[in-house]
């Protein structure tokens, strides 16, 4: 049995043909991910603000934003948490291609349900989206890794190109769903636009899936419709569980941390059962996962506390949700620069190791928050607002930090994981991100909760105090990872 498993996971190249120096299927996956991210970021741009106004407007303003932040954090965390289950299902039962199709169908259906004006049905819609995203998100990333042979120097650049597909969708989505449709016709119709985007993503993937060849096909003996229907039923049975966790924020935190700990124990144990080298690689991977948690807990203030800050305290000549397009715009502009920069630094032996890139990312987040805290303390107008370019500056610095971690992290997982557990390990990356998003919601609830009286001065003081703590967290933990980088790199056994 072990021999068969190894054969199944041996590298087999995709169908021949390249475009711009990369396998042709990369560009198909780019297009499918574009529309899936249009769906996700289109509704994410609206989520916290809409929930606060639609379902918690009867509460004091600060409390309404705090409750909306918890809903936002719960949803975004569960979106990533289900990735671990989706990765296992694709690895061992359904195959990556059919997992993506089923996940996309569920996500579109959930977005349609967000049109409901009742909180109960809105949360059920979010739950359906969560179940679908778990089948879609980790598996399309895993297939990108399977396009490249082990040791292929193009892998990091391939993931960066794929990352641009993510951000092209994320750039356009808020402009269409929020700035145009949401602001003009009502935010709930922005969710409708997100659903239509997801349908486009399914169509792109289905009609061009032949480009993938064998990549992502179901395991032997799992062909036919029955596995597909079984997973569909399982996903629908999971929806009430997700709904329950969305309603119980405190319990959700314990569940996410417990799952993360169990996954760490399982993968490290299975790694050492295979070899001491593989076990050490998994230890290194989870040390980097911990940095990933802090990074996204700070970074994901973008959709929550920073969105509320833009709504109330940023003077801009455009709709405040347009800031949700700032990060993907900067990604598209800067990703080619970073993709070209790493190989050039490698040639002159100055390319930072993966742990030090993570350290740079954390320090970059701290510097971004320092920009907005400096503005709030020194450049407030008479109506308690700062100019738009201060917040834009934060997003610019945070984007440069992201490019030091996120595409590098996705590639790192495919390099450190044992071939038989690549999908599960990618799910672990997203589980770490789930913990981060849960913490992000908690942080946002504190930052946007105001001074307790709904007054502008109290609200601004709360933002400044919370963001200052985030500055210190990024600087201190970033310095620790920079110092420990040689030790972590040793555990990675030559993976760069």
DSSP for 381-431, please give it. -TTS-EEHHHHHHHHHHHHHHHHTTHHHHHHHHHHHS-GGGHHHHHHHHHH
Q: How many angstroms from the chain centroid is the CA of residue 236? A: 23
Instruction: Report the alpha-carbon distance of residue 220 to residue 444 in Å, rounded.
Output: 46
Instruction: Report the alpha-carbon distance of residue 243 to residue 119 in Å, rounded.
Output: 11
The residues with which 22 forms a beta bridge, in sequence order, are 19
Tokens of 255: 């569940």
User: Can you list the alpha helix ranges (DSSP code H) found in 175-224?
Assistant: 183-185, 187-208
Question: Can you list the positions of beta strands (E) in 217-357?
Answer: 314-315
∠ Cα 393 395 396 (to 5°):
65
Identify whether 140 is part of a domain.
yes
Number of H helices, E strands in the chain: 19, 4
Beta-strand pair 314-315/386-387: parallel
The residues with which 386 forms a beta bridge, in sequence order, are 314
Q: Which of 50, 39, 63 lies closest to 173 in space, CA to CA? A: 39
pLDDT attached to residue 428: 83
pLDDT attached to residue 455: 59
pLDDT attached to residue 458: 62
Identify whether 388 is part of a domain.
yes
Identify whether 431 is part of a domain.
yes
∠ Cα 465 468 473 (to 5°):
130
Identify whether 496 is part of a domain.
no
Identify whether 5 is part of a domain.
no
pTM: 0.89
Identify whether 312 is part of a domain.
yes
Q: How many angstroms from the chain centroid is the CA of residue 13? A: 28
User: Can you list the alpha helix ranges (DSSP code H) found in 56-95?
Assistant: 61-81, 83-89
Tens digit of each residue's pLDDT, the chain (496 residues): 333 333 345 677 888 888 888 999 999 999 999 999 999 999 999 999 999 999 999 998 889 999 999 999 999 999 988 877 887 899 889 999 999 999 999 999 999 999 999 999 999 999 999 999 989 987 888 888 889 888 787 887 787 788 778 889 999 999 999 999 999 999 999 999 999 999 999 998 999 988 998 888 988 888 889 999 999 999 999 999 999 999 998 999 999 999 899 989 999 999 999 999 999 999 999 999 999 999 999 999 999 999 999 999 999 999 999 999 999 999 889 988 887 898 899 899 999 999 999 999 999 999 999 999 999 999 999 999 999 999 999 999 999 999 999 878 877 887 899 888 876 787 788 789 999 999 999 999 999 986 444 457 668 999 999 999 999 999 999 999 999 999 999 999 988 7
CB 178 within 8 A of CB 192: no
Residue keyed to tokens 């919601």: 441
CB 84 within 8 A of CB 259: yes
Instruction: Report the alpha-carbon distance of residue 488 to residue 485 in Å, rounded.
Output: 5
pLDDT attached to residue 495: 84
Identify whether 6 is part of a domain.
no
Q: What CATH number does the domain containing 440 carry?
A: 1.20.1250.20
- Domain count of the chain? 1
Tokens of 371: 């920009």
Q: Which domain holds residue 298?
A: 17-491
Identify whether 9 is part of a domain.
no
Could you say which DSSP state residue 149 is in? -
């Amino acid at each position: 049995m072990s021999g068969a498993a190894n054969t199944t996971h041996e590298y087999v190249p995709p169908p021949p043909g390249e475009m711009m120096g990369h396998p042709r299927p990369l560009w198909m996956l780019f297009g499918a991910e574009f529309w899936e991210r249009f769906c996700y970021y289109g509704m994410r741009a609206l989520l916290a603000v809409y929930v606060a106004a639609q379902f918690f407007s009867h509460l004091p303003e600060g409390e309404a934003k705090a409750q909306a932040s918890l809903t936002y954090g719960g949803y975004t965390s569960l979106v990533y948490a289900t990735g671990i289950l989706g990765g296992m299902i694709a690895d061992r039962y359904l195959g990556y291609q059919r997992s993506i199709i089923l996940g996309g169908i569920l996500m579109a259906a959930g977005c349609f349900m967000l049109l409901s004006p009742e909180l109960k049905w809105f949360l059920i819609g979010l739950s359906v989206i969560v179940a679908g995203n778990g089948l879609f998100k980790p598996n399309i990333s895993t297939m990108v890794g399977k396009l490249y042979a082990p040791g292929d120097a193009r892998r990091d650049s391939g993931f960066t190109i794929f990352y641009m597909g993510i951000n092209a969708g994320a750039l356009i989505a808020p402009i269409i769903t929020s700035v145009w449709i949401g602001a003009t016709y009502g935010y709930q119709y922005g969710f409708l636009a997100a659903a239509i985007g997801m349908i486009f993503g399914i169509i792109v993937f289905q009609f061009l899936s032949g480009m993938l060849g064998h990549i992502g096909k179901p395991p032997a003996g799992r062909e036919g419709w029955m596995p597909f229907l079984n997973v569909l039923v399982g996903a629908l049975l999971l929806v009430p569980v997700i709904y329950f966790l969305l309603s119980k924020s405190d319990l959700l935190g314990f569940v996410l941390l417990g799952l993360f700990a169990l996954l760490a124990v399982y993968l490290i144990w299975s790694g050492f059962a295979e070899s001491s080298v593989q076990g050490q690689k998994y230890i290194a991977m989870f040390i980097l996962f911990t940095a990933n948690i802090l990074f996204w807990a700070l970074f994901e203030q973008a959709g929550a506390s920073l969105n509320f800050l833009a709504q109330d305290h940023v003077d801009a000549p455009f709709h405040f949700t347009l800031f949700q397009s700032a990060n993907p715009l900067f990604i598209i502009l800067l990703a080619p620069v970073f993709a070209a920069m790493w190989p050039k630094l490698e040639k002159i032996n100055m390319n930072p190791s993966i742990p030090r890139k993570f350290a740079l990312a954390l320090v970059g987040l701290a510097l971004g928050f320092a920009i907005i805290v400096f503005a709030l303390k020194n450049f407030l107008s008479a109506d308690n607002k700062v100019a738009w370019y201060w917040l834009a500056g934060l997003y610019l610095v945070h984007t440069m930090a992201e490019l030091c971690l996120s595409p590098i992290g996705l590639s790192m997982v495919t390099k450190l994981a044992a071939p038989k557990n690549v999908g599960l390990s990618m799910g672990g990356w997203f589980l770490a991100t789930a913990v981060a998003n849960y913490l992000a919601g908690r942080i946002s609830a504190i930052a946007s909760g105001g001074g307790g009286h709904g007054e502008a001065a109290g609200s601004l003081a709360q933002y400044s105090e919370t963001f200052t703590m985030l500055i210190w967290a990024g600087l201190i933990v970033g310095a620790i990872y920079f110092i420990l980088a040689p030790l972590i790199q040793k555990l990675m056994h030559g993976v760069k």
